């Protein structure tokens, strides 16, 4: 079905931090079938940003409760603080408002299970988690090649993400409510593993370790700036995850998928563009500065596919239920990181008590 000439989906954004700002500008200028109706944030700095960057006709509100009362509001993008993601998602769904929620939806497995149950009961509103990498053109092409059998049966995935080193206070303050490096950052790699191995794959056993190399203040939150996690899945598959927050060269995200008939590599040589320089210092290219730059187009594709699915009445491009497995693995890796002990699951994905 063509969307040409169809109405625009009326969207509101909750939270105007890094992600909220990015979504607001994408909806304004790069999402033709959506209209930014309103935004909300209690932070004075966000109000100032909105005044400078958003058209005056967009309603700025200071509370979520006030925003969801906005007449004509059809969908919300929840980019607020993690502790309120689940409650805001549920309240929106109960009012018949569609939801695109940034990850993690919650740091509590039971809360997510309850939200999934409620979403299945809801016949008027849909919900999707913002696992942005699935909308990246390279990862979409890789997944198609895997589904087409180009590398046989995928057996091992190695994925790493190295974030550009920042002012230490940012990562330390962020760790207060992020849930930890595995839940906040590696969860994207975990989600990719599920997309390549199969949405119904379940972890069998996992273990994690890490070091604090640059930000000693992270210790009080039980977090690390370098971490490695290994997950064995039922059915004979393994995933290796590495994340750090001390990269001096910029943002670096690489994934390798090894199959019984070949191998796929995505972004094996991180680069900002196709320009290469050869000079007295050697042969080099610029590196992507940040994850926002690396996935700039994926953020646009994500909100456009979400919008089009809602307008056309189609299924959303990502299953909300798969977020549960990602969260279980992320939380268990974070636990293992802190205890040094492995975590095991049965074939249904339930934790096995020691």
Contacts 24+ apart (CB under 8 A), 24-31: 24/50, 24/53, 24/54, 25/53, 26/299, 26/300, 26/303, 27/303, 28/54, 28/55, 30/300, 30/304, 31/300, 31/303, 31/304, 31/307
Predicted local confidence at residue 211, as pLDDT: 97
Tokens matching residue 198? 């199969």
- Other Cβ atoms less than 10 A from the Cβ of 192: the count is 26
Predicted local confidence at residue 149, as pLDDT: 97
pLDDT tens-place string over residues 77-127: 999 999 999 999 999 999 999 999 999 999 999 999 999 999 999 999 999
Residue with token string 């040094």: 340
- Confidence grade of residue 2 (pLDDT, cut at 50, 70, 90): low
d(CA 23, CA 312): 21
Exposure letters 16-40 (e unless 16+ CB within 10 A, then b): bbebbbbbbbbbeeebebbbbbbbb
Predicted local confidence at residue 4, as pLDDT: 56
Residue with token string 């979409």: 140
Predicted local confidence at residue 179, as pLDDT: 84
Predicted local confidence at residue 284, as pLDDT: 83
pTM over 0.85: yes
Tokens matching residue 171? 């990562």
Q: In DSSP terms, which residues pair with 157 in a beta bridge?
A: 239, 257
> To the nearest whole number, what is the mean pLDDT of the chain?
93
Tokens matching residue 256? 């390798």
- Confidence grade of residue 176 (pLDDT, cut at 50, 70, 90): confident
Per this entry, what is the length of the chain? 354
On the question of pLDDT at 1 being above 70, the answer is no
Instruction: Tell me whether strands 343-344 and 203-211 are parallel, antiparallel or unpaired.
Output: antiparallel
d(CA 349, CA 341): 18
CA-closest candidate to residue 112, choices 173, 181, 187: 187
Residue with token string 């080099």: 284
pLDDT tens-place string over residues 263-306: 999 988 778 887 888 888 888 888 888 888 899 999 999 999 99
Q: Average pLDDT for residues 15-39, to the nearest whole number?
A: 97
Start-to-end Cα distance in the chain:
53
Exposure letters 238-270 (e unless 16+ CB within 10 A, then b): bbbbbbbbbeeebbbbbbbbbbeeeebebbeeb
Predicted local confidence at residue 291, as pLDDT: 84
What percent of the chain clears pLDDT 90, i.e. is strictly above it? 79
pLDDT tens-place string over residues 209-229: 999 999 999 998 889 999 999
276: helix, coil or strand? coil
Provide the phi-psi class of 9: left if phi over 0, else alpha when psi is between -120 and 50, else beta: beta
pLDDT tens-place string over residues 28-80: 999 999 999 999 999 999 999 999 999 999 999 999 999 999 999 999 999 99
d(CA 126, CA 96): 8
Predicted local confidence at residue 250, as pLDDT: 86
Q: Average pLDDT for residues 323-340, to the nearest whole number?
A: 96
Contacts 24+ apart (CB under 8 A), 2-9: 3/32, 3/33, 3/308, 3/311, 3/312, 6/33, 6/311, 7/311, 8/32, 8/33, 8/34, 8/35, 9/33, 9/34, 9/35, 9/74, 9/75, 9/307, 9/310, 9/311
**Residue 115 CB partners (closer than 8 Å, separation 6+):** 86, 89, 90, 105, 106, 127
On the question of pLDDT at 256 being above 90, the answer is yes
């Amino acid at each position: 079905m063509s969307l040409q000439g169809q109405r625009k989906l009326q969207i509101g954004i909750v939270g105007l931090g890094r992600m909220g700002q990015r979504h607001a500008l994408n909806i304004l200028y790069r999402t033709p079938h959506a209209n930014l109706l309103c935004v909300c944030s209690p932070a004075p700095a966000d109000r100032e940003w909105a005044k400078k960057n958003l058209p005056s006709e967009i309603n700025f509100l200071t509370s979520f409760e006030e925003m969801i009362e906005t007449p004509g509001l059809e969908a919300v993008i929840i980019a607020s603080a993690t502790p309120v993601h689940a409650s805001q998602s549920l309240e929106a769904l109960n009012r018949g408002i569609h939801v695109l929620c940034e990850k993690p939806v919650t740091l509590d497995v039971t809360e997510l299970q309850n939200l999934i149950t409620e979403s299945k009961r809801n016949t008027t509103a849909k919900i999707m988690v913002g696992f942005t990498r699935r909308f990246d053109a390279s990862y979409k092409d890789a997944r198609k090649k895997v589904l087409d059998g180009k590398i046989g049966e995928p057996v091992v995935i190695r994925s790493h993400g190295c974030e550009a080193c920042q002012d230490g206070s940012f990562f330390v303050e962020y760790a207060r409510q992020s849930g930890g490096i595995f839940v906040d950052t590696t969860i994207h790699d975990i989600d990719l593993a599920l997309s390549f191995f199969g949405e119904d794959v379940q972890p069998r056993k996992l273990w994690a370790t890490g070091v604090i190399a640059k930000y000693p203040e992270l210790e009080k939150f039980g977090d690390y700036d370098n971490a490695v996690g290994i997950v064995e899945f039922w059915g004979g598959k393994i995933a290796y995850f590495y994340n750090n927050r001390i990269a001096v060269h910029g943002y670096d995200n690489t994934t390798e998928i090894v199959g019984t008939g070949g191998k796929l590599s995505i972004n094996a040589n991180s680069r900002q563009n196709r320009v290469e320089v050869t000079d007295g210092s050697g042969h080099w290219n610029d590196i992507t500065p940040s994850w926002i730059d690396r996935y700039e187009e994926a953020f646009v594709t994500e909100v456009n596919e979400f919008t089009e699915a809602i307008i056309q009445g189609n299924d959303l491009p990502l299953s909300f239920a798969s977020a549960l497995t990602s969260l279980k693995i992320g939380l268990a890796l974070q636990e293992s990181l802190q205890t040094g002990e492995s975590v095991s699951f049965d074939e249904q994905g339930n934790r096995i008590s020691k």
